[in-house]
Structure 1
Amino acid sequence: MVEQAVRPIVEAIVARAPKGWTHAVLHGRAGRGGTGVTGGYSRQQERWNTGLPNPYEELMALAERVREDRGWEPISLEIQCRPSGEYRLVAFSDAISRVTGMSSGFQVVLDPDYQLPQPGQHQQPGTAAPTGDPELAVARFRAYLERRAAILGHPEELPPPATAAAIEEAERRLGHRLPADLRALYLIADGDGLGHHHRYLFQGNAWLSLESMVAEHTEWGAGERPWYGWDLEWDAVVFDTTPTDTVRRCGGHPGWLRFGTSEDGNFLAADTAPARDGRPGQIIRTGRDYDEGPTYVADSITSLLGHYLELMDQGAYEKDGDHISLLEPDHDPAPQQIIGGDIPDEVPPTLQAMHINNVTGLVDLAPLTAAPRLRRLHLNHSATADLTPVRELPVESLRISLTEGDLTPLEAHPHLTSIDLTTTAPADITSLRTVPHLRGLDLSGADVANLPVLADLPDLRYLSLTARQWTTLLDEAKVPPTLTAALLADTNATFDDALAWAARLGLSTDNALRVTGTLTTVGG
């Protein structure tokens, strides 16, 4: 069964092969969620020629056969073939997968249930009282509807009110009480949608019914942020909001009750679990485009409605048919992130991420001390000789190319969670033993003489090394005890290499699937 499912994929690879090809490798992932492939063809005059097909239906059929045979869902696979018609399939569960991007190679996940904590989970909670006022919110909402009716020339039909019993049932299913002012609005109307038609009362956002709010909450895993895989998550950062310390630094949270949607994966939410300087019931934006952190909107739905009325009083709106768009005043927000080039002459104090790209000569990091909220510092094709300024900054994700190899300025750094280190001189990583929250480390571009120190890191969850570095570490039995995911940073490694490496890390790979064969007819 599996053997028969492989052949159509090989035939597709051969059919697309360029003239003079000598070898082809397809790395793939396939399962109920779809397929994805990387790889290419090699020729005598060039290393790789892309253009591999992605035979979707054939890969899905193969995944189905393997799922029936081994129970894996999804699967990772590698198919190698040659002009002679010889081919070889190696497949395994997606505990091992080929990754590309900043770091390429094979990734192994040793504990699929573990996910890195988000900083907002441990932030100090807010203790202030809510600012929302149910009576004022109702008065403002009714005034808002009246002004909209005057502009449109007719009142807008809304759904009937939600009952108190329906609200209580929704709150039970949400696991949180609605803010009192938002609750009062549901006693006027259960959202703004009739059938599939919405009024988009909240600045282009459809106001969800109670049932839809509960469904969104359930679908998003009780408000938790989606997990995108270790290759994307190991050095991820969540930014702070403006004002600072009002909203938890999370990509998602069970206490964020999504009541409005722009229908593109983004939401307005009532925050029932604010950070230290926030207020319960404050309004935020969260969702698909807010993985690096939510956006603060207003301290309550009451205040948000007041803002809408002010804009209408100013004539700051546009009418298009039966839709009204409120026009926010133009403003130039203080930059949170700078990408490209060297450090600017004036570093904005609001800066939370700095990407320094393609700088000739050594970069002096000292000016960045003017950014007391800096969380991410990445040097790409750029280098520095002194990490001392980082000691004074709340940097969590550090990608650095270091000429001197001196890591002592990072000793006991209270914020660092990930380091991607490249060196041009041998580096001593002893200082990293004192970094209490270091969970991700990429040393594949570094010259490190004392790799066994890694076994002393207290909570290292992700580690990327070259094949040679891994051999050194494994031969000395010095793998970090808390390791959850790892990367074999070797672009030339085969799936068989990855299986052998993963086995040394403790993953059982004895049941890996291997199939060989030869096509009877192959084009030149």
Structure 2
Amino acid sequence: MVEQAARRMAEEIVRFAPGGWTRALLSGHAGDGGSGMTGGYTVSGGHGSPDFPELHPLLEQLAEAVHAERGWERIRWEMDCRNTGAYTLVTFTEEIGRILEPAGGYQIELDPSYRLPQAGMRQEAGTAAPAGDPDLATATFRTYLERRAAVLGHQEELPPPVTAAQLDDAERRIGHPLPADLRALYLSADGDGIGYRHRLLIENNAWLSLESLVAEYTEEQEWGTRPWYGWDLEWDAVVFDGTPPDTVRRCGGHPGWIRFATSEDGNYLAVDMAPARDGRPGQVIATGRDYDEGPVYVADSLTSLLQRHVELLEQGSYEVYDGHISLSREDEDPGEVQIIGQIPAEVPPSLQAIHINNATGPVDLAPLTAAPRLRRLHLNRSVAADLAPVRELPVESLRIALDGGDLTPLEAHPHLSSLALDTTAPTDLSPLLTVPNLRGLDLSGCEAVDLTVLVNLPGLRYLALDRQQWAALLDHGKVPPVLAAARLAGADVTYEDALALAARLGLATDGALRVAGRL
């Protein structure tokens, strides 16, 4: 079955090949959750073609055949076809897969269940009292409904309220108390939906019924507080701070965030019961699908948000369409948060991420000290000579090509969690041993004096090295003790190389399926 599926794939790849092709190398995933592929054709003369045939039906057949033989629900695969008619297919579980980066390579998951801790979990907790007032919230809600009725010419029908006992039960089921002003609103109405039609009362969002609130919270905790996009994207991911700073935890999701309204596109309003140092319990935040780089602070309480809604109606800052009122307001400008290109003449203090691309000479990082909230500093096809300015910044994700190899400015850096390092000289890695939160390293472009010092990084979870570096490390029997993922870097490495490395790192790869044939 697997042999037949492989042959059909090879036939389709050859049939689709452009003129003058010499090789086709394609890889991807298949099985439960769908299929995907990347790669392309090599054409004589050194030019490549990224096009490839439509293989999804054949990949479905391959996944079914592998499942029947091995029982794997999801697979990674790689097919190598030559213009001679020869082809090979390798399939294995989803723990090993090719990644798309300029340097290429393969990702190996050694602990598929592990997820990196989010920076917000380490933030200092807020101690202020809630800003919400249940009596004021109830009175403001009545005023808000009266103003809306005056605009629409009729009272809007709302569901009947819930009882205090139902609220108590909901809090027990989610394991968190609701803020007093949100409780008060549910004692006025159980959300704003009648059937499938919502009144979009809260910040132009559908206010969830209490039962839907519990269901959303339960589902979020069951599936995780945020999606996991794979180690190639997550190992150096950063969550930005909100505005005002230090009000909301820098997380993609948190058990203390209770969603109570939705824009019905995967985004939500939530009450935050676990605020950061300068926040207040019960503050309203925006979170969900479009907020992976950080939640957005909306208001210090639902009470304040309702007061703002009344003000907007009184100011005439709204539109009416299809029987709905859409409130209009300008969001607070957080300032320039991210820059792609070069360091500007005047660095905005709001800056949290910068990607410096294609600099013509060594980059002076000193101007960036004017950005006290900088969390991501990436130099792409650019070189810097001095890391000293980084010592003064709360940078968590650093990608840099260093002219030389002096890492002493990074000693004991309290924030740095990921480092991708290229160097032009042999580098002493020992300063990294003092960096307390270092979780990810890409040294595939670094000439290290001694890689074996990495074994003394007890918190290192991700490590990227090239083939020679991995061999040097493993030949000494030295591997960081709690690696959850490894990357074999290099444009010329193969799936077989990745399988061999995974085996040396302790992953059982002897069950990999291999098919070879000729058309």
Please confirm whether the aligned pair reaches a TM-score higher than 0.5, indicating the same fold: yes
Q: Does 1:122 align with 2:93?
A: no
Q: Does 1:293 align with 2:272?
A: no
Match of 2:234?
233
Q: Is contact 1:192–1:206 with CA below 8 Å preserved after alignment?
A: yes
Match of 2:312?
311
Match of 1:352?
352
Match of 2:50?
50
Measured against aligned partners, the alpha-carbon deviations of 1:123-166 in whole angstroms (never above 9, x if no partner) come to 22222211111111111111111111111111111122223333
Q: Is contact 1:37–1:54 with CA below 8 Å preserved after alignment?
A: no
SS at match of 1:486: strand
SS at match of 1:107: strand
- Measured after TM superposition, the shift of residue 118 of structure 1 is 0.6
SS at match of 1:204: coil
Measured against aligned partners, the alpha-carbon deviations of 1:57-107 in whole angstroms (never above 9, x if no partner) come to 221221122123222231001112233433221110011111103552100
Match of 1:509?
509
338 and 10 in structure 1: CA distance in 2 versus 1, 3 angstrom threshold: same
Q: Is contact 1:174–1:217 with CA below 8 Å preserved after alignment?
A: yes
Q: Equivalents in 1 of 2:467, 2:172: separation in Å? A: 52
Q: Equivalents in 2 of 1:124, 1:314: separation in Å? A: 38
Q: Equivalents in 1 of 2:242, 2:364: separation in Å? A: 28
Q: Equivalents in 1 of 2:247, 2:331: separation in Å? A: 24
Partner amino acid, structure 2, of 1:184:
A
Residue correspondence of structure 1 range 9-20 to structure 2 within 5 A: 9-20=9-20
Partner amino acid, structure 2, of 1:208:
L
- Measured after TM superposition, the shift of residue 35 of structure 1 is 0.9
Measured against aligned partners, the alpha-carbon deviations of 1:388-413 in whole angstroms (never above 9, x if no partner) come to 01111111111111112111111111
In structure 1, list runs of 5 or more residues that go unmatched.
520-524
Match of 1:70?
70
SS at match of 1:503: helix
Q: Equivalents in 2 of 1:160, 1:331: separation in Å? A: 35
60 and 163 in structure 1: CA distance in 2 versus 1, 3 angstrom threshold: farther
Match of 2:94?
94
Match of 2:32?
32
Q: Does 1:472 align with 2:464?
A: no
Q: TM-score, normalised by structure 2?
A: 0.96
Q: Equivalents in 2 of 1:345, 1:22: separation in Å? A: 49
Match of 1:224?
225
Q: Does 1:202 align with 2:202?
A: yes
Q: Equivalents in 2 of 1:171, 1:54: separation in Å? A: 50
Residue correspondence of structure 1 range 263-412 to structure 2 within 5 A: 263-329=264-330, 332-341=333-342, 343-412=343-412
SS at match of 1:383: strand
SS at match of 2:12: helix
Q: Equivalents in 2 of 1:333, 1:499: separation in Å? A: 46
- Measured after TM superposition, the shift of residue 331 of structure 1 is 5.6
SS at match of 1:42: strand
Which region of structure 1 is more displaced relative to structure 2, 212-221 or 276-285?
212-221
Q: Equivalents in 2 of 1:436, 1:503: separation in Å? A: 29
Residue correspondence of structure 1 range 440-455 to structure 2 within 5 A: 440-455=440-455
Match of 2:252?
251
Q: Equivalents in 1 of 2:494, 2:348: separation in Å? A: 46
- Measured after TM superposition, the shift of residue 300 of structure 1 is 0.6
Measured against aligned partners, the alpha-carbon deviations of 1:171-228 in whole angstroms (never above 9, x if no partner) come to 2222212111111111222111122211111122111112222222222235612211
- Measured after TM superposition, the shift of residue 329 of structure 1 is 3.4
Which region of structure 1 is more displaced relative to structure 2, 42-51 or 130-139?
42-51
Residue correspondence of structure 1 range 403-422 to structure 2 within 5 A: 403-422=403-422
| Identical pairs, percent | 66
SS at match of 2:52: coil
311 and 338 in structure 1: CA distance in 2 versus 1, 3 angstrom threshold: same
Match of 1:215?
215
Q: Equivalents in 1 of 2:216, 2:424: separation in Å? A: 50
Q: Equivalents in 1 of 2:320, 2:368: separation in Å? A: 46
195 and 8 in structure 1: CA distance in 2 versus 1, 3 angstrom threshold: farther
Q: Equivalents in 2 of 1:54, 1:254: separation in Å? A: 42
SS at match of 1:34: coil
- Measured after TM superposition, the shift of residue 459 of structure 1 is 1.3
Measured against aligned partners, the alpha-carbon deviations of 1:251-285 in whole angstroms (never above 9, x if no partner) come to 00011011111111111000111112211111001
Q: Number of residues paired by the alignment?
A: 518
Match of 1:164?
164
Q: Equivalents in 2 of 1:439, 1:243: separation in Å? A: 28
Q: Is contact 2:243–2:334 with CA below 8 Å preserved after alignment?
A: no
Q: Is contact 2:391–2:410 with CA below 8 Å preserved after alignment?
A: yes
Partner amino acid, structure 1, of 2:464:
S
Partner amino acid, structure 1, of 2:96:
I
Match of 2:105?
105
Q: Is contact 1:36–1:54 with CA below 8 Å preserved after alignment?
A: no
SS at match of 1:23: strand
SS at match of 1:372: coil
CA RMSD of aligned residues (A): 1.6
Match of 1:522?
none
184 and 293 in structure 1: CA distance in 2 versus 1, 3 angstrom threshold: same
